[in-house]
């Protein structure tokens, strides 16, 4: 229990401060890439790997690590670069995304770096790998590209956004038709998943690609004289985003008298024992791991029932 509490404390220390830690690494060239440290379980040398028949082209094979069988994904090939050649000296990064654990084969891990989200920007439209990037930053005048791992994983195991037909006739959920929500996320895959699921309920979707853009949209509605908490059924926000993260966005919403009554759901690929602590610390109303369409519908239903009681 002490270990869990220590982990919660360590991982929530940056919450609300608009900061993040990234793990920097190389793939098949000199370009530096990164992912959020929150998603990383460990970095180890590649164990003995077993090949699988009919595997996806980006999956090298599987390994057994601490009693778990994990797919090993060639991250370089997955984002369109030259494939890596695995050997006994290769390095894997073991990560957890959306309640699944996988290993990414990389060319070499460099270091962990603590940054302010304001230093992390959306990729420019001219970026050749924008399709697989959520953000960029500069470290010692060198460009670091933050990979959209959710997109990589969705291409290997496509996600399902369908809702059971009987749920669509639920009298409570029928009241969602015509309502509006704001979805804030830097991942196009995550925004698509939200849109494809929520539109089945007849909900109108507004989107923003980071917390700053989301906050500006909310404030623009408020400046125009709208009661934003009446207009929007809820706000879904990712945790990690360039310029302003979801924790800071929630803090800004709670600090604005015109917005503070909004129902905010933290919608993130982070999972683990620290989720509840993060939600409580920044004042979110609910938490939802990504790519769970039925649970997403549950959250909408809970919100509608809460309106009945208020």
Phi/psi of residue 227, nearest 5 degrees: -85, 100
Phi/psi of residue 243, nearest 5 degrees: 70, -50
Contact 36, 96 (CB under 8 A): no
Work out the burial of residue 138: count CB atoms within 10 Å of its CB; fewer than 13 is exposed, 13-18 middle, 19 or more buried: exposed
* Per-residue pLDDT reduced to its tens digit, 266-287: 998 765 555 666 677 778 999 8
**Which residues, other chains included, contact 233 with Cβ-Cβ below 8 Å and sequence gap of 6+?**
176, 179, 180, 181, 203, 263, 300, 303, 304
Rounded CA gap, 245 and 240, in Å? Answer: 5
Rg of the chain's alpha carbons, rounded to an integer?
A: 20
- Residue 139 pairs in a beta bridge with 142
Domain 19-156 bears CATH identifier 3.90.1150.10? no
* Per-residue pLDDT reduced to its tens digit, 154-191: 999 888 899 999 998 999 999 999 999 999 999 888 99
- Whole-model pTM: value is 0.83
Per-residue pLDDT tens, the chain, 310 aa: give them: 344 334 434 544 555 566 788 999 999 988 999 998 888 999 999 999 998 888 899 999 999 998 899 999 999 999 999 999 999 899 999 998 877 899 999 999 999 998 888 888 888 776 555 689 988 999 988 999 999 999 999 999 888 899 999 998 999 999 999 999 999 999 888 999 999 999 999 999 999 999 999 999 999 999 999 999 999 999 999 988 888 889 889 999 999 999 999 999 999 876 555 566 667 777 899 988 888 899 999 999 999 999 888 7
Domain locations in the chain?
Answer: 19-156, 165-308
Tokens standing for residue 199: 């539109």
Instruction: Give me the chain's average pLDDT, please.
Output: 88
Tokens standing for residue 176: 């969602």
**Which residues, other chains included, contact 205 with Cβ-Cβ below 8 Å and sequence gap of 6+?**
180, 181, 183, 194, 195, 198, 199
Which one of 3.40.50.1100, 2.40.37.10, 3.40.50.2300, 3.40.50.300 gives the CATH number of domain 165-308? 3.40.50.2300
């Amino acid at each position: 229990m002490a270990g869990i509490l220590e982990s919660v404390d360590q991982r929530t220390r940056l919450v609300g401060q608009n900061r993040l830690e990234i793990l920097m690494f190389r793939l098949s060239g000199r370009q530096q890439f990164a992912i959020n440290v929150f998603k990383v379980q460990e970095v180890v040398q590649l164990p003995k790997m077993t090949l699988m028949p009919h595997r996806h082209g980006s999956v090298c094979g599987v390994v057994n690590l601490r009693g778990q069988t994990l797919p090993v994904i060639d991250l370089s090939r997955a984002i369109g670069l030259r494939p890596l050649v695995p050997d006994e000296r290769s390095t894997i990064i073991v990560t957890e995304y959306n309640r699944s654990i996988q290993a990414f084969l990389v060319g070499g891990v460099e270091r962990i770096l603590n940054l302010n989200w304001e230093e992390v920007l959306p990729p420019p439209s001219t970026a050749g790998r924008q399709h697989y990037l959520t953000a960029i930053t500069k470290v010692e005048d060198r460009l670091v590209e933050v990979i959209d791992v959710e997109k990589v994983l969705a291409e290997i195991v496509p996600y399902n956004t369908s809702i059971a037909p009987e749920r669509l006739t639920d009298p409570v959920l029928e009241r969602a038709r015509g309502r509006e929500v704001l979805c804030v996320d830097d991942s196009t895959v995550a925004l698509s998943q939200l849109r494809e699921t929520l539109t089945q309920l007849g909900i109108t979707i507004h989107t923003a690609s980071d917390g700053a853009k989301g906050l500006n949209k909310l404030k623009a509605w408020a400046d125009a004289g709208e009661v934003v908490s009446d207009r929007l059924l809820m706000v879904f926000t990712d945790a990690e985003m360039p310029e302003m993260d979801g924790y800071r966005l929630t803090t800004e919403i709670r600090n604005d008298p015109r917005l503070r009554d909004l129902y905010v759901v933290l919608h993130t690929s982070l999972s683990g024992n620290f989720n509840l602590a993060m939600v409580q610390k920044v004042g979110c109303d609910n938490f939802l791991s990504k790519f769970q369409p039925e649970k997403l519908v549950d959250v909408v239903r809970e919100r509608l029932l809460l309106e009945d009681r208020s």
